[in-house]
């Protein structure tokens, strides 16, 4: 018996079962009692030695991470690891550069390592080419929706990035800003960048503001790249009162460029981020951001993957709610 079997019999999620077995306090008494009844009835004992033995029989799942500077991904990986550690699966993590080919790496891993499942962090439709159409390994992509991609073995967990982008730009406009620049990513490579950019455009249109391509600068999801993108914006002959950055990492890099120019945030230029990372919440100034519920996203991604592997369920696609977190990085003008 595995914790997936316990979850199925109890009616609770794999995450809840994991929390009970790990003696966590964030579980209701009813759930704990029900799960422990099943554990005792089946004499279930988590066995670390057995887990190590089973790893040699390819009980391995992989996490492929596209991008090396994403703080949200680091939080999600930590949560995924905590859940997987309570099962008889092992976890391997591979990091890819933003420009690397996910398809090639996935093909290599499936051929050489024969994983039971794969979780992707990052990536877009173009990363999943025709080779994935006949994919036989259960997979889940997190932070991007694969709905409509017609890949049978690919589930997804994400927020509504377009709506979130629209929401945070609405917030800037509600605070009096109309000269809003955007630090985005390569729109030819990143579906996430496209959706968040579409949200920016939708908000501008809704408020009667004509988009101006001079207000857009692309960057990689890194401090240095965003710093240089902000420098380019400041060098242009345009007035900027606010910047919408499509990640917290980009927002922090941009703030450094603003400060190095002798300007202040938010007195001279307001700025928003995206992801709701811990660093953004403790940064000075605290950054207004869109919080993605990384714990829920991690838990659901593992549960979906396990249900595909162990229960042979079909792929499914879930949207989880986002939240705008207020801070000190936006001035009302």
pLDDT digits (tens, 9 = 90+) for 267-292: 999 999 999 988 999 999 999 999 99
Burial zone of 172 (CB within 10 Å; 0-12 exposed, 13-18 middle, 19+ buried): buried
Q: Does domain 48-158+295-321 have CATH number 1.20.950.20?
A: no
Taking residues 134-159, report their average pLDDT: 90
Superfamily holding 161-291? Response regulator (3.40.50.2300)
Q: What is the rounded CA–CA span in Å between residue 220 and residue 177?
A: 25
Q: State the alpha helices, DSSP H only, in 88-246.
A: 102-112, 161-174, 191-206, 223-235
Tokens of 268: 């001279």
pLDDT band at residue 23, thresholds of 50, 70 and 90? low
Given a contact cutoff of 8 angstroms between Cβ atoms, the answer to whether 207 and 214 are in contact is: no
1-46 shares its CATH topology with 48-158+295-321: no
Over the stretch 9-22, which tens digit does the pLDDT of each residue have?
Answer: 898 887 788 778 77
Q: Decide: 43 and 24 in contact? Cβ < 8 Å.
A: no
For the chain, give every domain's residue range: 1-46, 48-158+295-321, 161-291
Q: Which residues are registered as beta bridge partners of 245?
A: 183
In the numeric block, the tokens 């919080």 are attached to 291
Global pTM value: 0.79
Contact 64, 96 (CB under 8 A): yes
Fold of 1-46: 434 Repressor (Amino-terminal Domain) (1.10.260)
Asked whether residue 171 carries a pLDDT value surpassing 50, the answer given is yes
| Phi (first) and psi of residue 56, to 5 degrees | -75, -10
The pLDDT-based confidence of 58 (bands split at 50, 70, 90) is low
What six digits make up the tokens of 105? Answer: 């790496």
Residue 57: per-residue pLDDT: 47
């Amino acid at each position: 018996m595995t914790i997936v079997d316990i979850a199925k019999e109890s009616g609770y999620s794999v995450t809840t079962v994991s929390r009970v077995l790990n003696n966590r306090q964030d579980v209701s008494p009813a759930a704990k009692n029900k799960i422990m009844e099943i554990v005792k009835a089946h004499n279930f004992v988590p066995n670390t030695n057995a887990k190590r033995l089973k790893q040699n029989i390819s009980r391995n799942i992989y996490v492929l991470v596209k991008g090396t500077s994403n703080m949200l991904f680091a939080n999600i990986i930590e949560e995924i690891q905590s859940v997987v550690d309570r099962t008889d699966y092992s976890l391997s993590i591979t990091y890819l550069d933003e420009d690397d080919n996910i398809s090639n790496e996935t093909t290599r891993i499936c051929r050489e390592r024969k994983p039971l499942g794969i979780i992707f962090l990052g990536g877009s439709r173009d990363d999943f080419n025709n080779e994935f159409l006949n994919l036989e390994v259960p997979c889940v992509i997190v932070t991007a929706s694969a709905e409509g991609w017609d890949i049978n073995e690919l589930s997804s967990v994400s927020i509504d990035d377009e709506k979130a982008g629209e929401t945070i730009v609405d917030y800037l406009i509600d605070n009096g800003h109309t000269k809003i620049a955007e630090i985005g990513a390569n729109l030819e490579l990143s579906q996430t960048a496209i959706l968040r950019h579409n949200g920016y455009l939708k908000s501008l249109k809704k408020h009667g503001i004509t988009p101006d391509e001079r207000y857009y600068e692309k960057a990689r999801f890194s401090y240095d790249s965003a710093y240089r993108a902000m420098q380019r914006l400041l060098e242009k002959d345009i007035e900027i009162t606010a910047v919408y950055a499509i990640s917290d990492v980009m927002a922090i890099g941009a703030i450094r460029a603003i400060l190095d120019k002798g300007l202040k945030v938010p007195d001279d230029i307001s700025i928003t981020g995206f992801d709701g990372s811990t660093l953004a919440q403790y940064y000075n100034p605290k950054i207004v951001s869109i919080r993605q519920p990384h714990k829920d996203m991690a838990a659901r991604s593992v549960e979906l993957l396990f249900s595909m592997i162990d229960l042979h369920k079909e792929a499914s696609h879930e949207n989880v709610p986002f939240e705008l977190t207020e801070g000190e990085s936006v001035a009302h003008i």
